Amino acid sequence: MIEMLLLASTIVSSGGKLMSGIASKNAAQLNAFNIETEKAAGEAEALQRHNDRLDLYRSNLSANIASFAAQGRDVGADRSVSAFLQRQQDIATDDTTRSDFMGMMEARKRASQAAAVRAEGRAAMTSAVIEAFTTMAGGLHEYNQVKLPSAPQQSGSVTSSIRPVSRGQSQPSRSLYNTANDFLYPRG
């Protein structure tokens, strides 16, 4: 009875460790998915910042051209107007380049985080499998120790009976199996 309880507790313990590993791996997968979702949202936000900055540039360009034209300046021929407009274009290009770079770096950071979280989940699963295996092996060893106790070692020859035989009496013929049974399970 105790042997079965020992075996059952070993199986339950090993199963619990496996379930813990599976849960850790699934949690890591979910966290990685959430990080990748944040990555996609960040990329969309970076693209929106890029587009907003270009829209602002185009709006300012139109307003500046209208302002210069209202002042009577020839936008195509006036070099100072062309230099001003070129400078505004350079600023807008720098702003969008910087914003795109920051968005790209943030996306790479999140991709690395997701990969690290997945690796942690795989490591937790591997660790749980190893723990479950060692628990099972240890439990089986204990089960065998309880179920099959080691027999005491005898030195010398094996006799068929533990009782002394008197000199004139012949020893009954017994098999080695019967001798072992008598030794392991003595009668009264």
Residue 30 belongs to a domain with what CATH number? 1.10.287
Six-digit token pair at 156? 């010398």
pLDDT over 80 at 92, yes or no: yes
Q: Higher pLDDT residue, 1 or 151?
A: 1
Average pLDDT over residues 155-163: 51
Q: Higher pLDDT residue, 64 or 179?
A: 64
* pLDDT of res. 26: 95
For tokens 């602002």, what's the residue? 56
**Position 81 in a domain:** yes
Query: In terms of residue numbers, what domain contains 72?
Result: 2-148
* pLDDT of res. 40: 96
User: How many independent structural domains does the chain possess?
Assistant: 1
Q: What's the predicted TM-score (pTM) here?
A: 0.64
**Position 25 in a domain:** yes
**Position 132 in a domain:** yes
* pLDDT of res. 172: 52
pLDDT, averaged across the chain: 84
**Position 156 in a domain:** no
**Position 139 in a domain:** yes
Q: Higher pLDDT residue, 141 or 162?
A: 141
Average pLDDT over residues 173-182: 52
* pLDDT of res. 30: 97
**Position 153 in a domain:** no
Of 10-14, 96-100, 139-143, which gets the smallest average pLDDT?
139-143
* pLDDT of res. 3: 80
pLDDT over 70 at 51, yes or no: yes
DSSP notation for the chain: -HHHHHHHHHHHHHHHHHHHHHHHHHHHHHHHHHHHHHHHHHHHHHHHHHHHHHHHHHHHHHHHHHHHHHTT--TTT-HHHHHHHHHHHHHHHHHHHHHHHHHHHHHHHHHHHHHHHHHHHHHHHHHHHHHHHHHHHHHHHHHHHHHSPPPPP--S---S-SS---TTSPPPP--HHHHHHHHHS---
pLDDT over 80 at 56, yes or no: yes
CA distance 36 to 105: 14
**Position 186 in a domain:** no
pLDDT band at residue 169 under the 50/70/90 scheme: low
pLDDT over 60 at 174, yes or no: no
- CB-based contacts of 100, cutoff 8 Å, min separation 6: 46, 50
Of 10-19, 59-68, 116-125, 161-170, which gets the smallest average pLDDT?
161-170
**Position 179 in a domain:** no
φ, ψ of residue 176 to 5 degrees: the values are -65, -35
